[in-house]
Structure formats: structure tokens, C-alpha cells
Amino acid sequence: MNGRKRVFPVMSIRIPILLCLIFATLIPLVLQERALSGYYRQNLIREDMMEAQNRCLILANEMSGSGYLDNINDTSQTSAVNAEINTIADFFGGRIVVVNSDFRIVRDTFQLSQGKTIVVGEVLRAFGGQPQTHLNEKKDYYYVAYPIQPKQAQNAAAAAGAQTQPAVKGVLLLTVSTEKISQTQKDISGEMQVLELILMLGMFVADAAAAALILRPVRKLVRQLRQSSEGNLDEKIDVASYRETRDISNAVNSTVRQLRAIDESRQEFVSNVSHELKTPITSIRVLADSLMGMDHPPAEMYREFMEDISNEVDREAKIIDDLLTLVRMDRKSPDMNITANASINLLIADILKKLKPIARQKNIELIYESVREVRADVDEMKLSLALMNLVENAIKYNREEGKVHVTLDADHRMFYVKIEDNGIGIPEEEQKHVFEKFYRVDKARSRETGGTGLGLAITKNIIVLHHGAIRLQSAEGEGSTFTVRIPLRYVP
Ligand code: ADP
């Protein structure tokens, strides 16, 4: 192996379609021609045999009427019938043999077997009174064996059925070669073959045209898809000629829409990030420029401005930290550092302990209600960050002397953390946006409290990474309740 990937030629769909059409048109055509020519030959032979039977009937009647067999040695009596026999034999290009009741040949138009005894099955059967015919397709001949019997005997035999033995005096055997008919059929077939070839060529061209016509929408689809893949995403794919091409068009359009949405959200994110990162820098520049603009600013003013600049730097650092956290979690396979059976009670108690000082600043009461002991498989660092964001928000977006109520409960499958506050609440129409990156209901307030607008996005990401879910219930001016639900057992 030289490592290079081998590219196999891929067959065009046109080939199976063309093959199907050829099977459906040319093969029936050939079969039909074969069947027709066989039928034609059979028909010719059947007609010839019927004619032969008629002639034999007339001849046999004549023979019995003139007592031919009784006077076989009297040439004056038999010459007329003999002439008739020769004429009929010539007419069919065959041979007529007359057999008497001793099975002896008394007349042969070929003059070969006169006086010989005949043992042909059909001749013997014809002595039973019924005419016999036999067709030998392989050797290309047929014969008709016709009984020679007086008229009365024929009628009596017909009336009594086959049981009675009629008085058959002899049998007339006409043997005819069917080679001529076969030759005629071959000649016609030969002529037909030329016609058939022309017809087949015509059908092949028609089949190729039909295949091209059937594939036209597919080719159109391929053309549009190619244009789309070359970057022309504005052009809508629309080939609704077949259900399949319509389904493909719809699927591609939906993919393109999703890609566009992803692209737009990425652009929006980049523009949001630039804007967010620029805000502290602009503040720092304004502060620095004002300081530099003053001739001899007092030392307190220096200190005050430098403090503000330091705060802005902290803010910038926080935005960058939050962004890095988000980017790390947005990766396809973020590292999950799962601790089996971690105590969620302790984890929440720890968070509340850390946040107590800022709650105290606003005289906010922090209540923790742990319904039961909960142990679960979680990434402690990440989950702490997620719950911390929620409790911090409940404190930040609260009023003086407000309340934050944290409840921990579980069932046999999940644990539930409810963070309830009686703060400013979130208007109904904003609720679906608060988990979006950089989304803030009140920009000024968020900025005042040092928010980046990324907290809830990070929280939601972390909960999803734990295969959990978060729900928000809120009423403006009354407060908000965030409920987190996470499975006790982590299945990667
Ligand atoms: P921020 O850094 O601005 O706090 P978050 O992503 O944590 O960003 O929150 C997004 C927005 O949702 C906040 O700016 C705020 O307007 C609103 N919000 C979040 N939690 C609460 C809450 N408990 N009560 C009222 N509004 C809230």
C-alpha cells in the first residue's frame, strides 16, 4: 500500500435506467417477433394439412365410387383416378400411396414401394375408419392417412360412433414435405430481422432519450447543488419534479438554513465579544486621557482614577475568563472531571457560604433547605460554577431585604435544585433569551453588578453536559425561580 486513497469510478444512474428500459422494450420486441414467426409457420402448415385432408376426402370418395380398389388391375377403370392421384400429389409436391385391405401398397406415385406391405401406425389406425394426420416438425413433413370406404359405411360409422368396425377397403396415404413452408418462413424471418434491427436501433435511441428525460431533474439538482457548494448559498435549491428530488431539495435547503443560522450566530457572537471587550478598554482610555489632560491633578484624584482603571481591568479579565470557560465547554468533547457520589448538600452549602458576604451587603436573607442527603456523579468544579451563577444572580437581581431560597431534593433518578428569589423578576418576553450569550434584560444594572451576560449561558452549558435541564419561572416585580434537574448517575 502506498497510502494514497484509491478512487473507484462511480457508475452513473443512467446505466441502470437505460438497462431497465432496454429490458422492458427490446426484449419483448425480440420475443414477440420470434413468437409471431413461429405462429405464422404453424398456421401455414395447418392450412396446408386441412387442404390435404379435403383433397384426400374427395379422392377417397372418388375411389370408393368408382370401385378403384376392386378393379386395381384394370387400367381402363383406374386411369382417371390415377391421373387425379398424380395431380394431387404434384399439387402438394408430395407422394401418394394407396394401400388395400391386405396392407399392401397397390399404387405409389413415386413407383418405389408398389406391392410392398405397409406398417405405418397412422395407416393401420385409419383402417378403423377415422382419418389420421401426423406432423413431424423435426424432419419437416406431415402425412394424411384417409380411409377409403363406401358412402353408406361412412354414414353408418358416424351414426354408430367409433365402436362399430366400418367396412374400410383401403387407405390413402399422402406424405407432404413442409420444407418449403419452413423455407418461406426463414425467408420472411430474414427480411423481418433487418426490420427488427432497424426497429431495435430506433428503440435504443428512444430508450436513451427517455433515460435522459427521466434524469433531467436529477441533473438539474446536481447543477444547483454544485453551484451551492461553490458558495452560492443565496440560490434556493428547488427541483420538485419528483418526490425524491423535492425531498433532497428540502433537506439541502434546511441544512443551508441551519448553516446560515450558525454562521449568523457566530458573526453576532464575534461582534458581541468585540463590543464587550472594547467597553472596559474605552473606559480605561477615557479615564487615562482625563488624567493626562489635567496639569497637576491631586493625588486623591490619581488614586480614584487608578482604582476605576483597575476595576475596568478586572472586568475585562472576567469577560475573558467567562469566554474561555464557554469556549472550553462548547468544544465537541469537553473534559468532564466526574466525582462519583459527590455530596451535593456540601457543594451547595459551600456555595452559600462563599456568597453570604454579598448577600449581607444587600441585607438579603439566604435560606437553604436540604430535603434529603443527595449524592450524585458530578463534575464538582463545573456544577459549583453553574449553581453559583444562579444564586449570585438571585442576590444581584434582588431588592434590599429580599430573600433567596435554595432547595435541594431528589428522587431515585434525579436531584433537583431550586433557586427562588423575590427580586425584580424577568419579563415574560425576555425569559426565552436570558440563556443566550451576552443577553441582559437591563444592561445598566448588569454592568453595575459586574455581570458579563455570559453567566446563564455557562450555567446552561454545564447542566446540559451533565445531561440535565434548567427551567425558569418568573414574573416581573415578583421574583424568579430557576429549577435545575440532573441525573444522579452520570453516563458519558
Ligand atoms: P449577567 O452577567 O448579566 O448576570 P447572566 O447570563 O447571568 O448575565 O444573566 C442574564 C440576564 O438575565 C441578566 O442580565 C439579568 O437581566 C437576567 N437575570 C438573571 N437572573 C435573574 C434573576 N434571578 N432575576 C432577575 N433577572 C435575572
Contacts of 30 (CB under 8 A, 6+ apart): 196, 200
Q: pLDDT per residue over 293-303, tens digit each?
A: 988 889 999 99
CA distance 328 to 467: 17
Q: What type of residue is 304? A: E
Q: Are 392 and 455 in contact (CB under 8 A)?
A: yes
Look at the alpha carbons of 421, 424, 425, 431 in this order and tell me if their dihedral is positive or negative: negative
Can you tell me the distance from the alpha carbon of 346 to that of 181, in angstroms, rounded to the nearest whole number? Answer: 108
374 lines ligand 1 (CB under 6 A): no
Binding site membership of 481 for ligand 1 (Cβ less than 6 Å) = no
Determine the distance from the C-alpha atom of residue 160 to the mean position of all C-alpha atoms in its chain, rounded to a whole number: 72
- What is the rounded CA–CA span in Å between residue 383 and residue 416? 13
Q: With 60 as the cut, is the pLDDT of residue 1 above it?
A: no
Q: Is 479 in the pocket of ligand 1 (CB under 6 A)?
A: no
Q: Which of 419, 446, 459, 478 to mutate to test the pocket of ligand 1 (most atoms within 8 A of CB)?
A: 446
Who has greater pLDDT, 155 or 278?
278
- Cell numbers 451533565 correspond to 466
Give the C-alpha distances (Å, rounded to integers) separating 220 from 21, 241, 247: 22, 10, 14
Res 160: pLDDT:
56
pLDDT one-digit tens code per residue, 336-345: 999 999 999 9
Q: How far is it, in rounded angstroms, from Cα 178 to Cα 180?
A: 5
pTM of the predicted structure, to 2 decimals: 0.59
Judge if the beta carbon of residue 422 lies within 6 A of ligand 1.
Answer: no
- Extended beta strands in 36-167, E state: 95-100, 105-108, 132-136, 141-148
418 neighbors 483 (Cβ within 8 angstroms): yes
* 29-79 confidence digits (pLDDT tens): 888 888 888 888 889 899 999 999 999 999 999 998 888 988 888 888 888
Number of H helices, E strands in the chain: 11, 12
Q: What is the pLDDT of residues 365-418, one digit of tens each?
A: 999 999 999 999 999 999 999 999 999 999 999 999 999 999 999 999 999 999
